[in-house]
Structures are given as C-alpha cells and as structure tokens.
Amino acid sequence: MVGNSQGAPFALSCAAAGVVSALAVVSGADEVARPEFASVLNADLRALVERTECDPAGVEEFFARFTADAMWDMVMAGSPACDLAVYQAPDFAAGYRRALAEGFGQGAAGYARDTVLAMGRWPFALDEIAVPVDIWYGEQDTGHSPDNGALLAARVPGARRHVVPGNGGALLWTHPEPILTCLLEKAVTGRQTRGS
C-alpha cells in the first residue's frame, strides 16, 4: 500500500491492523497533534491542531466549506518552488485540477472528516506495526511533517526513512520508480518470510 499526503495515517492504520504486506508512506501527513511537535509548528497550524482537539465538529464544519479551487489555492500557496514546477506544468495541472474537481464533486464532507481524523491523535499503535514500512520525504517538504518523518520512522519498528535532496512534497510524482520498486521488493520479501 502507498499512503501519500493525508492518506498516510489511514495507510498506517491498515499496516497496524495487518491488512497490508508492506507500506510506503510518501510525503505523509504526520501526527502533528503529538506534544513533541507543539513548539515547531507554525502558529496557524498549531492553532488549528489545538482547535481540532477542543472543537473537532467546528473544525470539520470549517473544512466542509472547502472546494476544489480552495484546495488548489492552498496547495499552491504552501508548496516550495520545486513542487510548483511539477504541479503547475500544464499537463500535470490539468490532471490535478480534474482529480480535485472529481474528489470534491459530491462536496467536501469526506475531506473534512479525513482532515479532522488526520490532525488529531491517531487511535492506533505505530509500535505494533509488523510489516515493512518505508517512509519517504523530500527534504524541502515543509507541509507534511515538521521533521521530514524522523519521529514517525522512530515510532514504527524497523521503518526505513528516505529523505530525497532537492525535492518537496511532490515526491510520488517525481520519484515513483524507486518508491514503488522498493515497496514491491518489501511486499515480496514479507510474503516469503511469512511463508505465503
């Protein structure tokens, strides 16, 4: 399984439940509600995390007003130049905007619920994950993890962390081959180890 961006906590939950044979977390949203991150989050994100803890329904209502255009604007405003070069390339931008329009086609309720779940404390034990996990971040990724996944990797037994120089959060699109090759190798090795 690949858990990209805000899909990371949901993919990690699947790994904790043992329903995947291997996992690649790519530019994954980290558990920003952990106390270790409180002092390093920017003021706006810290306030949103605190509000999510105190008023999850209100935060969900806020995110439920999002649109495909608002999401595009948020991603463009928060991305480093290396990601903007990917996202704003004409063919990629057209596909990305179509995907956003489709994703928000029935409203933003699903996105809002997922965001509240991802921004709060995660209700599963990372230290119980027993499948191979590789954690990938671009070194210029400022939006997904305050420490490029260092704490996250330390919390998952045997996790291997990769930080790719000169890249940001668009890593799944700029480096799909090494990510997916590594994942497939781990999945095969994991199946062989378990005797399947």
3-class DSSP state of 169? coil
Torsions phi, psi for 75 (to 5 deg): -65, -45
Residue ranges in the chain modelled with pLDDT below 50: 196
- Report the Cα 143 to chain-centroid distance in Å: 10
Give me the residues paired with residue 24 across strands.
2, 134
Kindly state whether residue 49 falls inside one of the protein's structural domains: no
Kindly state whether residue 51 falls inside one of the protein's structural domains: no
Kindly state whether residue 38 falls inside one of the protein's structural domains: no
- The reported pLDDT for the residue numbered 188 is 85
Is 38 in contact with 46 (CB distance < 8 Å)? yes
Kindly state whether residue 91 falls inside one of the protein's structural domains: no
- Report the Cα 97 to chain-centroid distance in Å: 19
Q: What's the structural domain count of the chain?
A: 1
- The reported pLDDT for the residue numbered 143 is 87
For residue 5, what are the domain limits?
1-31+124-196
Kindly state whether residue 44 falls inside one of the protein's structural domains: no
Is 128 in contact with 16 (CB distance < 8 Å)? yes
Residues ≥6 apart with Cβ < 8 Å to 13: 122, 124
115-133 pLDDT tens trace: 999 999 999 999 999 999 9
- The reported pLDDT for the residue numbered 142 is 83
Kindly tell me the sign of the dihedral angle through the C-alpha atoms of 109, 111, 116, 122.
positive
CATH of the domain at 17: 3.40.50.1820
Q: Which two tokens stand for residue 30?
A: 């980290």
- The reported pLDDT for the residue numbered 196 is 46
**The length of the chain, given as a count of residues:** 196
Kindly state whether residue 105 falls inside one of the protein's structural domains: no
Kindly state whether residue 3 falls inside one of the protein's structural domains: yes
- Report the Cα 187 to chain-centroid distance in Å: 20
- The reported pLDDT for the residue numbered 189 is 74
Kindly state whether residue 52 falls inside one of the protein's structural domains: no
Give me the residues paired with residue 23 across strands.
133
